[in-house]
Amino acid sequence: MYPDATVDILASTFALRMRCSECNQSVPASRIEFHRAWCCKHAFECPVNGCRQTHTATDMERHVIACHSSSLLDPSPPPTRAATAATAVTAVTAATAVTAVTAATAATYTLLVSRFAPEVVVVVHDVVVVVSVNAFQVGEVPTVGHLNLHMRAYYPSPEAPPVTATVSQFRVNDYACDTPLEIFNVGIVPPVIASRENMTVTPYIPHITPRCVMAAENVLTPSSASIYAIHGVDDLHRYGVRDIPVIMRPTRRAEVHGIPVAIVRLHFERHASHACVGTVYDG
């Protein structure tokens, strides 16, 4: 049975317009769903944990930088075979900690994540991107170790160029030579839109199996939430991060002591040449 399209037919035939309750703008009925998604006056709650202020998507980047500057870190270039010691890695293992990174049109950010990892707020040019990690679940039961990496973005307008993301996972031994174990091409980071603020529609979520463990005494608890930076592979060793051995033959028993963690590099790029984000996500 076909849905009743009488209202749509009448609206298009008589060129009906509707008035937005938030911005008071008169919008053609054919564009009302797009306007509901991208209304410039809709106030979103700040994604930084613990902040309850609301701002429009246009002002979100300005608010994050102005009010959460103490959490801002500079993005670091990816490691190279010639200059690994200059690489910065930020370890995030506390459930209530948040960090933010400012960048121009591209940013590379390396995280040491576990199932205790907090949300990370990244500012790429004028787009606020939120990265969250949660444990993979089978039904209602969370599995041990497996992680899902979610992303969402607050774009200033539907005309904004999209931000694309690439996720790479490393082992400790491979990090020094910049050889990722696996690469996930996430594509465009999906926007948070007004018509479904609490539900982000994303076509692709990286599913990551941690390939390292971290000494349990170095994992921060929610009561001691903070962010600490690691510069180079030596600091990874200092915090007790080591690769999980790859077992190549049948064995009766294998024990790995520590908290499963993943060395994950996030690379964001702003593509001005691409179609604006509003044409991809039109509500």
Closest CA to 119 of 91, 138, 92, 141: 92
Per residue in 189-211, pLDDT tens? 999 988 887 777 777 888 888 88
Closest CA to 114 of 221, 203, 186: 221
User: DSSP per residue over 251-275, as a string?
Assistant: -S-----SEEEEEEEEEEEE-TTSP
Residue 184 lies in a domain: yes
> Residue 193 carries which DSSP code?
-
80 or 277, higher pLDDT = 277
pLDDT score for 1: 46
Cα gap 150→170, rounded to integer Å: 18
Residue 243 lies in a domain: no
Residue 267 lies in a domain: yes
Cα maximum dimension of the chain: 76
Q: How confident is the model at residue 123 (pLDDT cuts 50, 70, 90)?
A: confident
Which residues are registered as beta bridge partners of 56?
Answer: 43
Cα gap 205→208, rounded to integer Å: 9
DSSP H helical segments within the chain, as ranges? 6-13, 32-38, 57-67, 172-175, 233-238, 277-280
For residue 249, the one-letter residue type is: R
Task: Give the structural domain span for 87.
Answer: 71-231+257-280
Is there a contact between 130 and 163 (Cβ–Cβ < 8 Å)? Answer: no
pTM score, two decimals? 0.80
Q: What is the mean pLDDT of residues 242-254?
A: 73
pLDDT at 230 over 80: no
pLDDT score for 98: 47
pLDDT at 171 over 70: yes
Helix (H/G/I), strand (E/B), else coil: 102: strand
Structural domains counted in the chain:
1
Cα gap 176→182, rounded to integer Å: 15
Cα gap 10→264, rounded to integer Å: 52
Residue 66 lies in a domain: no
Residue 144 lies in a domain: yes
Residue 155 lies in a domain: yes
Q: Can you read off the two tokens belonging to residue 232?
A: 């180079």
Cα gap 98→131, rounded to integer Å: 10
Cα gap 244→237, rounded to integer Å: 13
Residue 65 lies in a domain: no
Q: What is the mean pLDDT of residues 136-162?
A: 77
Q: Can you read off the two tokens belonging to residue 130?
A: 């939120």
Is there a contact between 90 and 73 (Cβ–Cβ < 8 Å)? Answer: yes
Per residue in 45-63, pLDDT tens? 998 887 889 999 999 999 9
Residue 25 lies in a domain: no
pLDDT at 167 over 90: yes
pLDDT score for 8: 65
Cα gap 80→76, rounded to integer Å: 12
